Chain A
Amino acid sequence: MAAVQTRSERALNRVAIAAVLVITLLFLAPIYWITSTAFKPRNLATTIPPTVIFEPEISPFVKLFTKRSQLRAAPEPEDYAAAPWWERLVFDGGEKVVRSGRGDVQLSGYPNRFMNSLIVAITSTVLAVGMGTFTAYGFSRFKMKGEADLLFFILSTRMLPPVVVAIPMFLMYRAVGLNDTHWGLIILYTAFNLSFSVWLMKGFIDEIPKEYEEAALVDGYTRLEAFFKIVLPEAATGIAATAVFCFITAWNEYAFALIMTNRRAQTAPPFIPSQVGSGLPDWTVIAAGTFLFLLPVAIFTFLLRNHLLRGMSFGAIRK
């Protein structure tokens, strides 16, 4: 391309590069703002003009994980002297850490919700990818009547609006006591991700040459042995990519979690917005909670970068 580039083309390219840079900065601005707010002292979070340069601190994270009363007065000097470093960070903001009768700092609701998110997302991912891989192999390798219809049926379950499914599920869960339990959410997320996992895994397994298994069958493997010893190792990358997609979907899900859980099994997505009550919310704490919640997904996105196209198009478009 470069050989016959005219001057106007080079100028055009420079304009394009500049435009791409501007767009990238605009797209990353909200994410940067979340990250920077998570490390600001509270009084710098909502200033005009916005504070861009500041000394980062971790007090928002201390506040995120602890329950405190909001005293506007300075703490007692002996309290301050006796406090561990993380409590001092909060004290400096003019707040007092609540201590229980035994003298330890109480945890806030956040770590618990974060754990719930992990439990639900990981378990449902294992189930959806596990079942999905078997089913995808079945569809990929064996002929069957009405295969296209079955695959469409499987895909259509994914397209159902969450609120539509949630109404009868709520009533059924209430009848069997699954409301506000981990298993209740795990079942819903498994069902939601199963269709995705079947479609994506079918694409990955279709790409493994049938001859590999046939050679193994000739060598005396049974079909099941060939599946476990030949197909699964070959499909490892696909399984990992599918699992990461399923994890992210379950991790991010909001509507089901809002409707089906309220305390015990509540995940982070409905919890974080509930921190914004009435009055002035402490945006540094919300930013800290948001930052920790988004971090795993951001890391996964980088690991997945070569599979994003395939995953987001349900395996229909490959590079």
Chain B
Amino acid sequence: MATVVMTSLDSKSRAASRGLSDIKIRNLFIIPTILFLIVFNIFPLIYSLGYSFTDFRASTNAPATFVGLQNYRELLNDPFIWANFAITAKYVIVSVTGQVVVGFGTAMLLNREIPFKGLITTLLLLPMMLSMAVVGLFWKLLYDPSFGIINYALGLGSFEWLANPDMALYAVAITDIWMWSPFVMLLSLAGLSAVPRHLYEAAAIDRAGPFYTFFRITLPLVAPILMIAIIFRTMEAFKTFDLAYILTSQPTTEVISIRLYKMAFQEWQTGRSCALAYIVLIMVLAITNIYVKYLNRVKER
């Protein structure tokens, strides 16, 4: 036995010495990717960190003047920016809650013996694979007050969705729920199918009611994977841009990404928009951190 191990080790080291060494290969394989990401993701962020302390405007040739923390101070004291954050928060809550209810509910229904289950699941997953911008655009027709099929199907007459300041954000959220409930459903299904059957059988023998079974067996076991879905969707909803930008131009749907886009590319307040970008970035990184912790926890199981 020992000799076998010895020869295999020996030939391995000989093999390694024949070609490139393992360490060289490792570096050759990993370093280009790290460099690529540093050059095209980290360097730009350092670049914009610099601009965030200036009054630079990319639309003029005037050189940037250093203004210290003024951009950050003004942004954090600007009630309109806080209003944008409030709209974003409302959007995140409505949209993620909707996705969890619809997605988890559908997963519960699908977690039984259903004919053509595979086909139905794939069909249900289709919306999340499509382009938000392109499909989102078509929802404009569906929401149209005079000839949209939504008003027709619900018998709402000429109800205004997107042109109505109170309704527009909900309309965007409904489209988002349509697109992303399938994601929550997909992950929930994985969690539900991993619940050991014998737990349900034991519960049935103990004559446990459906509510007891759900809250004491199903939910606790699916919770970690559901949590991943929720955090991931929260992060994506927080960053949302495409749908709201395409569907409406209401002030009530101006989520923070849209404000940032307008500040940078329509008002050309480059320096200030870099500062706002940093405020948003820090928030996103905080959510990402929580997300990765959960990913690792689920992976370890």
Chain A residues close to B by CB (< 8 Å): 1-2, 13, 16-17, 19-20, 23-24, 27-31, 33-34, 37, 46-50, 131-132, 134-135, 137-139, 141-142, 144, 150, 152-157, 159-172, 174, 187-188, 190-191, 194-195, 198, 214, 217-218, 220-225, 227, 248, 251-255, 259, 268-270, 272-273, 276, 283, 286-287, 290, 293-294, 297-298, 300-302, 305, 308-309, 312-314, 316-317, 319
| Residues of chain A with a CB closer than 8 A to B265's CB | 170, 259
Shortest beta-carbon distance from A207 to chain B in Å: 14
| Residues of chain B with a CB closer than 8 A to A253's CB | 131
Given contacts A27-B127, A164-B280, A293-B131, contact A254 B138 (CB under 8 A): no
Q: Report the Cα distance A152→B178, complex, angstroms.
A: 30
Q: Report the Cα distance A160→B241, complex, angstroms.
A: 13
Q: Report the Cα distance A241→B194, complex, angstroms.
A: 23
Report yes or no: B292 in contact with A290, Cβ–Cβ below 8 A: no
Report yes or no: A131 in contact with B241, Cβ–Cβ below 8 A: no
Chain B residues close to A by CB (< 8 Å): 8, 11-12, 15-16, 18-20, 22-23, 25-30, 32-34, 36-37, 40-42, 44-45, 47-48, 51, 58, 106, 109-110, 112-115, 118, 120-135, 137-142, 144, 146-147, 149, 152, 178, 182-183, 186-187, 189-190, 225, 228, 235, 239, 241-242, 246, 257, 260-261, 264-265, 270, 273-274, 277, 280-281, 284-285, 287-288, 291-292, 295, 298-299
Q: Report the Cα distance A28→B130, complex, angstroms.
A: 12
The A/B interface has a contact count, at CB < 8 Å, of 293
Which of A20, A224, A286, A293 lies at the interface centre, i.e. has the most chain B CB atoms within 10 A of its CB? A20
Report yes or no: A165 in contact with B147, Cβ–Cβ below 8 A: no
Which A residue sits closest to B24, measured CB to CB? A223
| Residues of chain A with a CB closer than 8 A to B280's CB | 161, 164
Report yes or no: A49 in contact with B152, Cβ–Cβ below 8 A: yes
Which B residue sits closest to A50, measured CB to CB? B149
Which B residue sits closest to A150, measured CB to CB? B34
| Residues of chain A with a CB closer than 8 A to B45's CB | 160, 164-165, 168
Q: Report the Cα distance A190→B29, complex, angstroms.
A: 16
New A-B contacts (12) at CB < 8 Å, excluding given A273-B137, A298-B130: A29-B149, A30-B142, A138-B26, A164-B277, A168-B51, A217-B16, A221-B15, A254-B132, A283-B141, A287-B138, A290-B138, A317-B190
| Residues of chain A with a CB closer than 8 A to B130's CB | 31, 252, 294, 297-298
Shortest beta-carbon distance from B10 to chain A in Å: 10
Q: Report the Cα distance A132→B34, complex, angstroms.
A: 10
Report yes or no: B44 in contact with A222, Cβ–Cβ below 8 A: no
Given contacts A17-B114, A27-B178, contact A155 B152 (CB under 8 A): no
Shortest beta-carbon distance from B179 to chain A in Å: 10
Report yes or no: B298 in contact with A214, Cβ–Cβ below 8 A: no
| Residues of chain B with a CB closer than 8 A to A2's CB | 113
Given contacts A157-B41, A224-B19, contact A290 B134 (CB under 8 A): yes
Given contacts A137-B29, A198-B33, A252-B130, contact A290 B241 (CB under 8 A): no
| Residues of chain B with a CB closer than 8 A to A287's CB | 138
Report yes or no: A294 in contact with B186, Cβ–Cβ below 8 A: no
Which A residue sits closest to B186, measured CB to CB? A309
Q: Report the Cα distance A217→B143, complex, angstroms.
A: 63
| Residues of chain B with a CB closer than 8 A to A153's CB | 34, 37
Q: Report the Cα distance A164→B124, complex, angstroms.
A: 32
Which of A27, A33, A221 lies at the interface centre, i.e. has the most chain B CB atoms within 10 A of its CB? A27
Show 10 residue pairs from A and B whose CB-CB distance is below 8 angstroms, ordered by the A residue: A20-B110, A23-B106, A23-B124, A27-B124, A37-B141, A132-B33, A167-B264, A224-B20, A259-B261, A305-B125
| Residues of chain A with a CB closer than 8 A to B121's CB | 305
Shortest beta-carbon distance from B185 to chain A in Å: 10
Shortest beta-carbon distance from A231 to chain B in Å: 11
Which of A13, A144, A172, A269 lies at the interface centre, i.e. has the most chain B CB atoms within 10 A of its CB? A269
| Residues of chain B with a CB closer than 8 A to A317's CB | 187, 190, 225, 228, 298
Report yes or no: A255 in contact with B242, Cβ–Cβ below 8 A: yes
Across the interface, B292 reaches (CB within 8 A) one of A155, A168, A227, A273, namely A155
Report yes or no: B47 in contact with A168, Cβ–Cβ below 8 A: yes
Across the interface, A135 reaches (CB within 8 A) one of B30, B122, B142, namely B30
